[in-house]
Chain A
Amino acid sequence: MELFNNLAQGFAVALTLSNLFLAVGGCFLGTIIGSLPGLGPSNGVAILIPLAFTLGLDATEALVLMTSVYYGAMYGGRISSILLNIPGDEPALMTTLDGYPMAKKGRAGDALVLSGVASFVGALLATVGLMLLAPILARIAYLFGPSEYFALYLLAFCTLGGLASRNQAKAALAAMLGLGIAMIGLDNTTGLPRFTYGEMHLMDGVDFLVAIVGLFAVSEVFVFIESHGKNSAIGVTLDKITVPFRDIVRCFPAMLRATGIGFVAGILPGAGASLGSFLAYMAEKSVARDKDSFGTGNPRGVAAPESGNNAAAGGALVPMLTLGVPGSGTTAVLLALLLTLNITPGPLLFEERPEVVWGLIAALLIANFVLLIMNVPMVRLFVTILSVPPGVLLPGIMMVSFAGIYSLSGSAFDLVLMIIFGLLGYLCRKIDVPTVPIILGILLGNKMEDSLRRAMVISDGDWTYLFSSGISVGLWIAAIAGFVAPIFLRPLLKKPAQPGN
């Protein structure tokens, strides 16, 4: 078996004492970085790259450290989503929807353990997928051109309506606001700046992290101040921490479905982890019989996005290694690291540098087990944070947020922008407009617009180009079905709430 030989070779490279130490250290650092609002996997990895240079690590060691940080941050992002209702990074956004209500019900420990296991399942299966199929899967990326990507993003937007079960119009308004914000910056198709008002800081557009931290963390502080510290989302009740075996078993099929969706989204360079976790969540909601319980702390709504985004993180390594195309901000930083280490990713990487590839895969497997072991006992530590009074905890979170956002570009402009987003988030809360669709609008809107404009350039403005391949037609059908079906099916599916819910 060539595969096992390769894997054995990989473990021989990765399982040295110093590499193991780097893996454990990287996982720990990554989890912390991921869980801090304002510090996501991509700037976490970027901040640590100089460290790899300073330590004089060789190629394999540097990769072990950085991928451990990467996977660790993907795991860690869920922690503040669940405990504080503040996503630690953009792929953890969807986890707030059910994770936080679950914590609010006193099941914070359960939610953390369940999402930890879900992350493990997603990341492990994605790593196995990467190992078995990477050279074949890389071909899928060739099939996706602008029209296919446009249809894929359209699918995401068409299911967005299902996100808010209470008031669809407000969710649509929020998504539009996000789309509007996504327009800011340099327009790829004409090379002209839009809505920047000559401000150089706006040329690169609005960073998602600035928007997330502003809308979620800063607005929380405003609400807290307004109510003289009485009305805070923070202040979740605690109970005994046990491993929720029943939930894990019940959510297992959801984890597998979400892993599949997330992995495919990860393989497509134009999609990425955020889209993976979003589609995984929406798919789970649409197949569930108890739709109404999503958004109120349904364990499956916690497991699905976590499996989805971790699987996407693993999937994103496929185009990065085999094509040199980064599928996400973090893989872009990892790619730059590879190039600096004189490793050229490309179709031949698996043949030319097997020690690097298989060492990396072995390191990912090790990191995954380390993270699972680390995350379950550490749950207690994280949940203890909640017993800190909000009056102390919130300023602490603010401090970390400001430092994290400042580290993005080293300019105070982003801080001002973050506070403006905080005011927007406060306003949205007052008039009960959900903030999650705003972020999704910013995240997905940019790429959807770019795909459409590119398609129009290629086809000289011929709209039929958008339906010119089997893949895009299939995605269009799914998108239309996803948009129309709930309108007609909702009255039919309306069933009395299940007993016990």
Chain B
Amino acid sequence: MEIRVRKTVFAGALLGGIGIAGSAFAAECIAPANPGGGWDFTCRTIGKIMHDIGAVDKPIQVTNMAGGGGGLAFSHVVNERNDDGELIVAASSATATRLAQNAYGGLMADQVQFLGAIGADPGIIAVAKDSPYMSLTDLLDAVIADPTSVTFAGGSAAGGFDHLKVLMALGRAGFTDVTSVKYIGVDGGADAITQTIGGHTQAMTGDMSEVVGFLAADEIRVIAVFTDERVPGFEQIPTAKEQGIDIVSVNWRGLYVPLGIDEADYDRWSDALAQVAASQEWQDAMVANGLAPFTKVGRDFQDYVNGVIGEIETLSREIGVIQ
């Protein structure tokens, strides 16, 4: 019996998939990456909750459009879908970083509208359990005294968000010789931790969700989290602010919409996103995925993104990622 049911479901899902792909009237969420990553999660989870709680009346179809670190989807939206009121696109801090570094083939942040972010992966700095650095100030002091003594490992390429976080923290501590800071970009946050536990690098820069497993196994020590308040569930980890380094840096998860859509469409989407942020379903999804609350919806969020882009642009110029 169970087999029969499965088969029916299987066939139904296939047919359903074809049906959805063929229809143009349903709202669409573009995930600018392959299935499984953060952007894919944003589209699938937010899209599903929007429909489940009745914030939108039709299910939202998810399209994966990988390439150019989100650049292909961005240029697709700007050039071909600029007035499509039924389109939302997943974005994160990485989107802002790449826009600031002009990595989207000359396209600018003001060619779309940032709708909002409703959750964030807090930035962290971790060291191996047997490391001599007990706090963020220990580590930063060591870098300031001798930049060659510490190598940071992170999951993004040089100039990426993980690298910039370290430079921002050092900047707050009064150290501005950014090019002397040693950073290697490896294949993902977990790889960066492996290198740090193995003693090949001295510190790891990444996001909270990347270190949860290692933290529970007591293999690493997280010396700072870059949020305003300590993160629920991780109360033992001090914030950078407490240690006198005034930095808040999170990898937010949010959406943007095309620039040319009607004001009414923009309001409809920001309203739907705000409803998701307030829902119990989203609270549960955040807990399950190691996200901290971070809600900025509407024009406020646009200002926030512009501010972040400005800072990243300045830093990127200093380290030579852009001219």
Interface residues of A (CB under 8 A from B): 17-18, 21-22, 25, 43, 46-47, 49-51, 53-55, 141-146, 186-193, 198-201, 203-204, 269-270, 319, 323-326, 332-333, 335-337, 339-340, 342, 344-349, 352, 408-411, 454, 457-458, 460
Contact = CB atoms under 8 A, between A and B. Distances in A.
Ranked 10 nearest A-B pairs via Cβ: A346-B213, A336-B36, A191-B159, A145-B200, A347-B217, A142-B198, A200-B68, A324-B190, A191-B158, A49-B35
Contact of A323 (B105, B159, B163, B190): B190
B301 interface: no
Contact of A336 (B13, B35, B163): B35
B151 interface: yes
A21 B101 CA distance: 49
B232 interface: no
A53 B16 CA distance: 13
Contacts of A51: 13, 17
B3 to A, nearest CB: 5
Contacts of B148: 460
B191 interface: yes
Interface in B8-62: 9-10, 13, 16-17, 34-37, 40-41, 44, 62
Contacts of A348: 213, 216-217
Contacts of B249: none
B122 to A, nearest CB: 16
Most buried by A among B62, B101, B157, B214: B157
Given A189-B157, A324-B210, 10 more contacts: A17-B2, A18-B6, A186-B69, A200-B68, A324-B214, A325-B191, A339-B289, A340-B41, A346-B214, A347-B216
Interface residues of B, number: 68
A201 B35 contact: no
Centre residue among B66, B199, B320 by max chain A CB count within 10 A: B66
Contact of A192 (B71, B290, B321): B321
A192 B62 CA distance: 31
Nearest to B287: A342
Contact of B13 (A55, A339, A340, A342): A55
Nearest to A352: B216
A191 B160 contact: yes
Most buried by A among B212, B213, B320: B213
Nearest to B41: A340
A323 B67 contact: no
Nearest to B216: A348
A25 B14 CA distance: 14
Contact of B157 (A46, A142, A187, A460): A187
Contact of B71 (A53, A187, A203): A203
Given A190-B320, A191-B157, A458-B184, A204 B191 contact: no
B194 interface: yes
Nearest to B71: A200
18 contacts: A18-B3, A22-B6, A46-B35, A142-B194, A145-B200, A188-B157, A189-B158, A189-B184, A201-B68, A324-B213, A325-B191, A326-B187, A326-B190, A336-B37, A336-B40, A346-B214, A347-B214, A410-B66
